[in-house]
Amino acid sequence: MAPVAVPAPRRVLLPAPLRAQLVAVLRAALPAEGVALLGGRRDGQDLRLGALLPLPNVLAAADAFAVDPVDFARAQRDLPAAAPWLGFAHSHPGGTACPSAADARSLWRGCLHVIAGLQQQRTLLAAWWHGAGGLLPLPIAELP
């Protein structure tokens, strides 16, 4: 049986408190790339983020990340029932919020990826859906 393709969402809805928490989690991992599990739900054609859990970057590298499968399974289990797993967030210390060549090769398909470009004074966030056609940029609508 062929896998069922998950349709790409239209945009990501990100509440301001969750954005602040995400930035804090990813900056706390500096100088390494930070990683977090994202939970939420589909809201029509949108993805509404509602939870995040930090994950250890087992590589502890400034230009790469990896997550232990056991840590992923535990975090997925610990997400609230109202905000099941939607994808991941990771950071690019001193970089952009665009996927790297390594990201394009290795990020999981069929889920959301939020990338944070961590500049000294600001954080740039971008959302991407990794589907059959590659990485598709998604607008982020920040909510109060």
Digitized pLDDT (tens) for each residue of the chain, 144 residues in all: 555 567 889 999 999 999 999 999 999 999 999 999 999 999 999 999 999 999 999 999 999 999 999 999 999 999 999 999 999 999 999 999 999 999 999 999 999 999 999 998 899 999 999 988 889 999 999 999
Domain presence at residue 3: no
Whether 41 maps to a domain, the answer reads yes
Residue 111 pLDDT? 94
Instruction: Measure the CA dihedral 86/74/144/9, to 10°.
Output: 0
Rounded CA separation 86/50 (Å): 10
CATH (domain of 25): 3.40.140.10
Instruction: With respect to residue 6, please indicate whether it lies within any of the assigned structural domains.
Output: no
Domain count, the chain: 1
Of 75, 100, 94, 99, the C-alpha closest to 26 is 94
Q: Decide if 66 is inside a domain.
A: yes
pLDDT at 131: 87
Beta pairing class for 11-15 and 140-143: parallel
Q: What is the pTM of this model?
A: 0.94
Does residue 4 sit within a domain? no
In a domain, 47, yes or no: yes
Domain extent at residue 128: 11-143
Please report the pLDDT score of residue 110 as a whole number. 92
